[in-house]
Structure 1
């Protein structure tokens, strides 16, 4: 009886997993009409799919950009004003900062257009259109009898042809991305703007309030936003930076709602999610949970402790390493939460149940089904087993060995020695050296050798002991023996004292020596020798087997997903995130993460003051913000006697969704996505509607900070405020709040 009950429960769990769960999914805007429109409208959407994504008229998609290479931004005025997260703009804010002008600490606000700061290399990318090009990409690609690497070469060639044909005679750019593990392919036509200027950023005490303590956590009180502006040439088209450029005129900008949110309200997140693995097998989940994540967590934990101590001891180091620290800490904490979530969901067992059902389906079919799918899962199991040690070794190379900046920098110079060994013409070598020299100043501007030496002393022994012995370079084994008595601290001291790559002047001298026919200056540098040993061993002893195994896994995973879509024809499948434009939708909702714990759906300025701690840099409150709170000077941004700061909803998000607009059913901006709750970080692998919540900066707190705190009401005047009581748009303005519909302009 007990066994029968257990089997029934397992079957119920499996069926639940097969159903398209509430609010799960990162959907292609192109397919909203056929897959999602009706469901979205049932949940509160007042727009049509055409008003969200259109190529013939202005739509919501025309207000969404990929900000740089890894975040999202949204256009919030008809003059190209761009809103994203503080942590997305952090690198640019840092680059403009110095000890004398510390914009990270004090914030920055351009009070006129000529004070808006250019950011070389920063881009904002709009999606012009997307198209299913599967038939073109797979034309001439054999379905059997071809190894994965060769198939990928053919796919890439076809993809390049498709992209080139799409942009011929236009000023656009294009790329093709695989969907469903390479079962389908989509073309994305883009317009990339290059002149992006910093307009405003709150101080870190607002933009990073709560720091790493609150990162990936709820309740949250972080004013995580920054403001930029897109500039264009005289034809409103992309142009390199020029003081003569004009603010970009978008096809659509998002109106901003002052109405706020309530539980059950419809929400959608429109942006560029980075990467998910929702269709990973049990062996992939187990590898992530038990092998890869624990190793990376331990390595980053050691590095963060060193950086934290040195940043607290020196303002110069704090500014140099602020962006690096934030980047390292972000996924360190995410992986910890992900593992907790996978354990709580018993993810490996759930995946095993799904695989057992798939195996029964495969074996119960006709000869063609059995031939295509019956041996698939056993083959996947073997491939993961063969890759396990090589995956771990790869993680230790990338996180530990190359986590030492000196080693990583030396590795970036090794291609110069390859050119020397290839006996290329002197002019070609000198050109390569000149290119390398251009990056020297940028590297050393944010580098502190004493800090990196301490990092090396911590990370190199982790690399030496954590790498499977058979895959560790002989050079490093020798070092372990040589320094067995004195320890890795002694080796790190010697490495940094003898290397000529630890400061800008000597690094330039090394590069000049290479250009002048003295490559041994670089070849004999101890940092270059260590990098050459680590990377050379990786390429010779690790990469070939790792690549062969992962290629086989990719092939089998593609077949497995194709089989699942045949097995479950009633299910709506969505492709894993891959940094392409997606829409997720859900509803505002609190949650109960544990027994006896219940979280409300929003936070307020009151919570900031409750957390305030002048002895803890993560919880410092600016005097001006405290004054506004004390005087209850909230302007039109108040709600129930305070200012709303953040809220949560059930949207499916991941990295890359940082900065994404959170939009209500009318197409109005209600907030900016900036994080997930810690209990929901496993949603990259397995979604749980009861626990997964995206964390959103309430747009009213952004407006409050810009207007009342910074006194930059001129920026609020640019925006279109809708949905609230009639109120001034900016404290010194008489502009009234408007009701605005989605603008429709001919392309």
Structure 2
């Protein structure tokens, strides 16, 4: 009966909240009437069908951190430049710097293999709620249940993977079947200064002038075991017709950052304070890195991927707090909690008293957790953000737990590539001084002053073997006694012991209780129809909305025009005074982390844009969507084509695209 009530409440509430929600695409039947009302001309089967070709066959997860889409029948993949950046950096050298020049493979033989990258293409979704719930009632562990179901439902063929996801905090369980494609090659990226115009200063901001896109190609094996371009069941058409204010659009991808069950207590007492503390530490870390990067091209090449990722995370956390406060999200969350209580009372639901107790208990537990959360935040962001100490911790924990030394060597090799002793020593002094000034108790007793920090820095970076790659290799050799005696390992283990004793031993049980209560409350929200879509968890989702006012053309930016001239990019800009060029635009589609690289489609299912960012003030949409402020930022498909047409090596790539004039 409760499930019937949930479905009914979903349908009744859709029209009032048409633009909110990251909807599982296999459940798009629920929102299809609204999509049609807003202008969608595709049939339901064209949008989603497991037994025939549909839009869902053109969208894939890009590794574990983003989305992408197929745009040709030869496995050509479109995603964001910022998702491609680590591979661009990997193949760049001082002499062949693809960050500076961009990259375009003039033929398939010139494409660059991206080791470790893979795509996940959803092929089927099966509701297994009944089976999971029955087995749970029989006392069988959840992990065993999901493992058995996945094993039974996953075909025994190469490249198939089955996963079970919980929706609405255990209200529903779904088995997802994916095809894994693990031969992915880089085809095209624009120059960094074009793709990331304005660099991190403009991240999460509007207006924007970014060409944040990249092309890859997916390969599979033929009957003879030879690598051939993957042939997707569906690929998207490029539209050159553009968009206008109020036009219907939808965004499809694999978001994983938005919650439909966040509470006011957790947000006010834990989310906001934690993000404030971490932002302060991140800003200082970025300042140190930028100081060195601006003075040395080799260091810039070494640090650019880490710097971009850290800056992105910092500004996102900053936006969540500032936007959340500015837009009164705590009050809105309280209103949602009150609305849920009213709904329960009106139905005389037996859950009413239990729900009220859960809210009060969650508030009390959140208050208790604050005193332990702050030192843990300063430890994980301040102390563990220091390369030497992070390396020391990884080595110590791996050897202590007797994990594989082979995997350890691989991890350390990646860490060593971004390690610079001079930068790291400066960061050590700056971060620990900030922690000391804040009075946060996460440092050893031997550090009481700035002088102590300087002395420790001198000893650590002159005496530790972890500043030398060859000595690290010697240290992790079997039966080597060096690890136990290294000064950096002794230093980090003393801090780790302090955090475990005084912080995590209390915080961990509190966090478990808070998590359980949050899930129970989210379940109740869903039951009463207060929330209509399950929290994003990396499954294929659809959101929809309209093109926002006055944002579909961008007035020429003088510096960008100079860059276009420098890179011989032919645009429609003839003067600085009265011409405009389609570059980026906004919509009110609900998006979140993981929607990077999501295709943006018009009412006919044609690609009109590529999602790459959000406005900072609307980042609080991760826990309280507000149609008036939440905006996602997209690259116009016409700008993508403009850059491609300006590259002398792109003809074979352009010939693959199906371009709708």
TM-score by length of 1: 0.82
Find the counterpart in structure 2 of residue 103 from structure 1.
98
Equivalent pair of 1:396/1:467 in contact (CA under 8 Å): no
* 1:273-312 equivalence runs, <5 A: 273-288=255-270, 290-312=272-294
**Is 1:648 matched up with 2:586?**
yes
Find the counterpart in structure 1 of residue 207 from structure 2.
219
**Is 1:494 matched up with 2:459?**
yes
Post-superposition Cα deviations, 1:406-458, rounded to whole Å, max 9, x if no partner, equal 111111111343257xxxxxxxx8xx334423444333223212111111112
Distance 1:291 1:710, change over 3 A: farther
Equivalent pair of 1:196/1:230 in contact (CA under 8 Å): yes
Find the counterpart in structure 1 of residue 471 from structure 2.
506
- What secondary structure, in the 3-state scheme, does the structure 2 residue paired with 1:87 have? helix
Find the counterpart in structure 2 of residue 184 from structure 1.
172
Distance 1:714 1:627, change over 3 A: closer
C-alpha deviation, 1:284, in angstroms: 1.3
- Partners of 2:563 and 2:452 in 1: how far apart? 43
- What secondary structure, in the 3-state scheme, does the structure 1 residue paired with 2:169 have? helix
1:154 alignment partner, one of 141, 158, 163: 141
C-alpha deviation, 1:464, in angstroms: 4.7
Equivalent pair of 2:266/2:363 in contact (CA under 8 Å): no
Find the counterpart in structure 2 of residue 582 from structure 1.
541
Post-superposition Cα deviations, 1:296-336, rounded to whole Å, max 9, x if no partner, equal 11010000000111111111110111010000000211122
Distance 1:709 1:419, change over 3 A: closer
Find the counterpart in structure 2 of residue 199 from structure 1.
187
- What secondary structure, in the 3-state scheme, does the structure 2 residue paired with 1:250 have? coil
Equivalent pair of 2:154/2:162 in contact (CA under 8 Å): yes
C-alpha deviation, 1:100, in angstroms: 1.8
Distance 1:707 1:394, change over 3 A: same
1:454 alignment partner, one of 417, 420, 426: 426
Distance 1:206 1:181, change over 3 A: same
- What secondary structure, in the 3-state scheme, does the structure 1 residue paired with 2:26 have? helix
1:524 alignment partner, one of 485, 494, 502: 485
Moved more, 540-549 or 580-589: 540-549
Find the counterpart in structure 1 of residue 365 from structure 2.
383
Post-superposition Cα deviations, 1:327-380, rounded to whole Å, max 9, x if no partner, equal 000021112222221112211122223334444555676583345334221111
* 1:491-640 equivalence runs, <5 A: 491-512=456-477, 515=478, 517-519=479-481, 521-568=482-529, 573-590=532-549, 600-604=550-554, 606-609=555-558, 621-625=563-567, 628-629=570-571, 632=574
C-alpha deviation, 1:118, in angstroms: 0.3
Distance 1:75 1:629, change over 3 A: closer
C-alpha deviation, 1:525, in angstroms: 1.2
- What secondary structure, in the 3-state scheme, does the structure 2 residue paired with 1:309 have? helix
Find the counterpart in structure 1 of residue 326 from structure 2.
344
Distance 1:369 1:577, change over 3 A: closer
Equivalent pair of 1:401/1:460 in contact (CA under 8 Å): yes
Distance 1:416 1:292, change over 3 A: closer
Distance 1:379 1:167, change over 3 A: same
Find the counterpart in structure 1 of residue 299 from structure 2.
317
Equivalent pair of 1:132/1:187 in contact (CA under 8 Å): yes
Find the counterpart in structure 2 of residue 138 from structure 1.
133
Runs of 5+ unmatched residues, structure 1? 1-16, 144-150, 421-428, 591-599, 613-619, 634-639, 725-747
C-alpha deviation, 1:51, in angstroms: 1.1
**Is 1:91 matched up with 2:86?**
yes
Post-superposition Cα deviations, 1:641-664, rounded to whole Å, max 9, x if no partner, equal 543111111100011100100011
Equivalent pair of 1:392/1:467 in contact (CA under 8 Å): no
Equivalent pair of 1:393/1:467 in contact (CA under 8 Å): no
**Is 1:668 matched up with 2:656?**
no
Moved more, 345-354 or 699-708: 345-354
Give 4+ residue runs of structure 1 displaced > 6 Å after superposition. Answer: none
Equivalent pair of 1:22/1:689 in contact (CA under 8 Å): no
C-alpha deviation, 1:559, in angstroms: 2.2
Find the counterpart in structure 2 of residue 479 from structure 1.
446
- Partners of 1:694 and 1:297 in 2: how far apart? 22
- Partners of 1:62 and 1:205 in 2: how far apart? 33
- Partners of 1:627 and 1:226 in 2: how far apart? 16
Equivalent pair of 2:372/2:506 in contact (CA under 8 Å): yes
- Partners of 1:42 and 1:334 in 2: how far apart? 34
- What secondary structure, in the 3-state scheme, does the structure 1 residue paired with 2:608 have? strand
- Partners of 1:652 and 1:536 in 2: how far apart? 42
TM-score by length of 2: 0.92
- Partners of 2:176 and 2:647 in 1: how far apart? 40
- What secondary structure, in the 3-state scheme, does the structure 1 residue paired with 2:306 have? helix
Equivalent pair of 1:214/1:220 in contact (CA under 8 Å): yes
How many residues are matched? 646
Distance 1:358 1:416, change over 3 A: closer
- What secondary structure, in the 3-state scheme, does the structure 1 residue paired with 2:594 have? coil
- Partners of 1:631 and 1:214 in 2: how far apart? 22
Find the counterpart in structure 2 of residue 426 from structure 1.
none
Moved more, 395-404 or 485-494: 485-494
C-alpha deviation, 1:544, in angstroms: 3.7
Equivalent pair of 1:180/1:575 in contact (CA under 8 Å): yes
- Partners of 1:416 and 1:43 in 2: how far apart? 54
Distance 1:107 1:627, change over 3 A: closer
* 1:36-47 equivalence runs, <5 A: 36-47=31-42
Moved more, 539-548 or 363-372: 363-372
Post-superposition Cα deviations, 1:485-537, rounded to whole Å, max 9, x if no partner, equal 6152332232111111112112112223xx1x332x11121221222223334
Equivalent pair of 1:206/1:222 in contact (CA under 8 Å): yes
- Partners of 1:627 and 1:384 in 2: how far apart? 54
Post-superposition Cα deviations, 1:545-601, rounded to whole Å, max 9, x if no partner, equal 323222222222222223233434xx66001111111000111112xxxxxxxxx21
2:641 alignment partner, one of 703, 715, 718: 703
Equivalent pair of 2:77/2:217 in contact (CA under 8 Å): yes
Equivalent pair of 1:609/1:626 in contact (CA under 8 Å): no
Find the counterpart in structure 2 of residue 13 from structure 1.
none
Runs of 5+ unmatched residues, structure 2? 1-12
C-alpha deviation, 1:629, in angstroms: 4.6
C-alpha deviation, 1:623, in angstroms: 3.5
Distance 1:367 1:297, change over 3 A: closer
Find the counterpart in structure 2 of residue 261 from structure 1.
243
- Partners of 1:485 and 1:697 in 2: how far apart? 47
Post-superposition Cα deviations, 1:160-218, rounded to whole Å, max 9, x if no partner, equal 22211111433310111221123222211101111100111111111111111111011
Post-superposition Cα deviations, 1:439-487, rounded to whole Å, max 9, x if no partner, equal 4433322321211111111222334555753xx3xxx332323xx2615
Find the counterpart in structure 1 of residue 7 from structure 2.
none
- Partners of 2:385 and 2:471 in 1: how far apart? 22
Find the counterpart in structure 2 of residue 117 from structure 1.
112
- Partners of 2:483 and 2:649 in 1: how far apart? 53
